[in-house]
A and B are shown apart, each in its own frame.
Chain A
Amino acid sequence: MKPTIGLKIGSGLGLALLAITIIGSSAYRNTSNLTQAMEDVDHSHRVIESLERLLSTLKDAETGQRGFVISGDNTYLDPYISALSRIDQHLQSLRELTKDSTEQQQKLQSLTPLIQERLSTLNTMIENRREVNGGDKLKQIALMDKGKVVMDAIRTGIGELISEESILLDKRSETTAKNAYSTQLTILISTIVSFIVLSFATAWLTRNISNPLKEITHVAEAIANADLNTSVTIYSREDEIGKLSKAFFRMNRSLQRMAKQVQQIAMNDLTLEIRPISESDQLGHALHTMVNNLRSANKEVSEGISILVTSAKEILVAASQVTSNAVETGTAIAQTSTTVEEVKQTAHLSSQKATYVSDSAQKAALIAHEGRASVEASIHEMKRIHTQMDLINESVVKLSEQSQTIGEIITAVNNLAEQSNLLAVNAAIEAAKAGDRGRGFAVVAQEIKSLAEQSKQATAQVRVLLGDIQKSTTSAVMVTEQGSKAVETGMHQTIAAGESIRLLADSITEASQAATQIAVSSQQQLVGTDQVAMAIESIKKASMQNVSGTRQTETAAQSLHELGQRLQKLVENFKL
């Protein structure tokens, strides 16, 4: 078991506790002895007192009895009567008090019949006094003698008892005094001993614990004031003080190491590798993370700065480009201004032209009106032609019908010729039947037949002619029909033309109005162009300001570029 601080303090305190316990217990024991002795003394006093009281009570009874016997007055009996009752009480209390001593009890027991006897003697004397007036004097005297003997015996018994008790009292008083003395002695001695022992223990503890702690506290205060150069004494002890001093030594060393690392970081050296001592080394972890973060941040910053430098360079180039562009724009705007002036001239010209067009359109509207009138006249004419065509058509149709009738007639004639032919053949047959006599008739029949043939041929010719006529009439009908249709179409077209011309007239009127509007608009345009010219002038001014502005931008870009380069140099100071 190692002697730890706790154990040391505990043992010191335990020593003190032991001393207190010893002193307390001895004091307690002595005190209780003393108390017991005191009680015994008190007891003896009470016994003596009771005995004396008993004797005095007996004397009271005797006194009362004597008074009565002498005087015969009943009032003298009062102390006697009260004494009778008190005697029993005293006896009783005496018996109680002397329970601890059998010897005293026996003596008290032997005393009791004597007392009874004395009392009965007294009573007899009182009775005797009452019986006869003044009583029997002799008897009284005899009784008085007897009573004196008993009384003396009682006095002796009580005197013995009192003296015994007094001896006991003396003995007890002596014991009490002895006890009190020993108690005082014990307390004194033990107090002195414990004072000495505890003083030694305290001194030892102070030397062993407090001084090293004070020293360590001094070191801790120095560390608290961030002074790491204080030397730490190492106690080669196994207890807490030794451990504490070692821990402080290690703490100081690690703090010094960390301070050195931080100093290195402060000197822009980020090459060092910080290893946390343990998992819970917050500072170590934090430093580790810080160095890492610084490293990455430095890298990022470096990259950012290189980007910044590049960008600044680009911005510089762009700004110079913008400047040249602005100059070009200025030139272009100057050209535009000239162009706008030309446009203004053109607008003036176009306004004049628009007025001219408006006049022409009004003339055209008049001409269109005339055209409309002539178209209406031609429509009227076309209607007349249509009526004429209808008449022609009717005539031709009639002609066609008539030629149809002629055809029917021809058919009838043809039928007649046919039947004549058949008749001729039949006549020839009949002639043949008649033989030689019918020969002449046969010739006639032949003639009839040839006539029929001829008429047939004639009708055929007529039919051919009629066919031609019919064809002609049919074509005439068709032509007339077509003519009629053509006239109708013509009429429709004329009407359509009229409509077109009307629309044209309307359009021309609208065009005329539009031309007037155009004229007005072009006037407004002229005004607008003037405004545009003014606006371009202000743009020109603005572009000049723009040029100066871009020049400033260029300068700013130049300074930005320089700043980037400076930053780059700054970052290069860091060792990674």
Chain B
Amino acid sequence: MNPHTHFLSQNKILQERALKFAREAAQQPDAKDRQPTCIIGFRLAYENYGIDASFVREVLSLRAFTPLPGLPPFILGITNIRGQIRSIVDLKILFDLSQKGLPDNNKLLLIHNREMEFGILADEITGTSEEILEDIHPTISTLSPIQASYIQGITKNRMIILNASKLLSDSQLLIR
């Protein structure tokens, strides 16, 4: 790729991005009857994440877990929650986040839909908040394809909203 074509491609990306932001601003006025959604906030690798509360069954402290052999690295293991066995997914490995520092990492968000139910590790549960989902920014283009597919958008408070239904239905996370 010669420098000229590189410059052209950069220009193209910038034009598209500008167009996109302009369209979003134009869309804002006709969102009157928008319902706020309850979001459960948590911290992961010093970042704020959020997930729709309707997919969350409960939050709890992870007291103990059992690692299992032969699993992909992002599956930490299994744990017993009131008599039911649930698997634990470590999003830090899945999202390829840095592992540096020693976060608490002992909280568990139990997410579910009708077919699936599993736990997501979190460093800390920050609490609940009301967000209007239409107001959030869609995913940013600098993310990797994997991250992009699980992220719904980012709020003005710089909270990354995870796409819970996508997470629950993703064949990648399915263990057979």
* Residue B56 at the chain A interface, CB threshold 8 Å: yes
Cβ proximity bits B22-66 to A, threshold 8 Å, 1 near / 0 not: 000000000000000010100000000000011011111100000
In the complex, whether A197 has a CB less than 8 A from a CB of chain B is: no
Q: Does A425 lie at the interface of the complex (its beta carbon under 8 Å from any beta carbon of B)?
A: yes
Beta-carbon contact of B59 and A425 below 8 Å: yes
A421 at the interface (CB under 8 A from B): yes
Interface string of B117-147 (1 = CB under 8 A from A): 0000000010110000000000000000000
B132 smallest CB distance to A (angstroms):
15
- B residues in contact with A432, CB < 8 Å: 38, 53-54, 128
On chain B, the residues within 8 Å of A425 by CB distance are 40, 59, 125, 127-128
**Nearest CB in chain A to that of B55: its residue:** A429
Contact call A418/B127, Cβ cutoff below 8 A: no
Q: Are A422 and B60 in contact (CB under 8 A)?
A: yes
Task: Please tell me which one of the listed residues B38, B57, B125 contacts residue A422 in the complex, with CB atoms under 8 A apart.
Answer: B125
Distance, CA A446 to CA B127, complexed state (A): 9
Partner of A428, one of B38, B61, B107: B38
Residue among A429, A445, A449 with the most chain B CB within 10 A?
A: A429
* Chain A residues positioned under 8 Å from B57 (CB to CB): 429
Chain A residues whose CB sits within 8 angstroms of the CB of B107 once the complex forms: 422
User: In chain A between 382 and 440, which residues have their CB closer than 8 angstroms to a CB of chain B?
Assistant: 418-419, 421-422, 424-426, 428-429, 431-433
**Which of A418, A422, A426, A433 contacts B54 (CB under 8 A)?**
A433
Write out the residue numbers on chain B whose beta carbons fall within 8 Å of the beta carbon of A428.
38, 40, 53, 127-128
Interface size on B, residues (CB 8 A): 14
A446 CB contacts on chain B under 8 angstroms: 128
How many interface residues does chain A have, given as a range?
A: 10 to 19
Bound CA–CA A449/B40 (angstroms): 13
Q: Which of A419, A429, A445 contacts B61 (CB 8 A)?
A: A419
Say which residue of A426, A431, A433, A442 sits within 8 Å of B59 (CB atoms): A426
- Assess A421 versus B125: contact at CB under 8 Å? Given A428-B38, A432-B38: yes
Shortest Cβ gap from A456 to chain B (Å): 11
Cα–Cα distance between A421 and B56 once the two chains are bound (Å): 16
Q: Are B53 and A429 in contact (CB under 8 A)?
A: yes
Complex contact A418–B61 (CB within 8 A): yes
Bound complex: CA A432 to CA B35 (Å): 13
**Would A422 and B53 count as touching, CB distance under 8 A?**
no
Nearest CB of chain B from residue A415's CB, rounded to whole Å: 9
Closest B residue to A419 by beta carbon equals B61
> Which of chain B's residues have a CB closer than 8 A to the CB of A426?
58-60
Whether the pair A449, B59 counts as a contact (CB closer than 8 A) is no
The chain A residue sitting closest to B126, CB to CB, is A425
12 contacting pairs across A/B (C-beta < 8 A): A421-B125, A422-B59, A422-B125, A425-B40, A425-B128, A426-B59, A428-B53, A429-B53, A429-B57, A432-B38, A432-B53, A449-B128
* A binding-site residues for B, Cβ under 8 Å: 418-419, 421-422, 424-426, 428-429, 431-433, 442, 445-446, 449
B interface residues with partner A (beta carbon < 8 Å)? 38, 40, 53-54, 56-61, 107, 125, 127-128
Q: A429-B128, A449-B127 are in contact. List 14 more A-B contacts (CB 8 A).
A: A421-B125, A422-B60, A422-B61, A422-B125, A425-B40, A425-B59, A425-B128, A426-B58, A428-B38, A428-B53, A428-B127, A429-B56, A432-B38, A449-B128
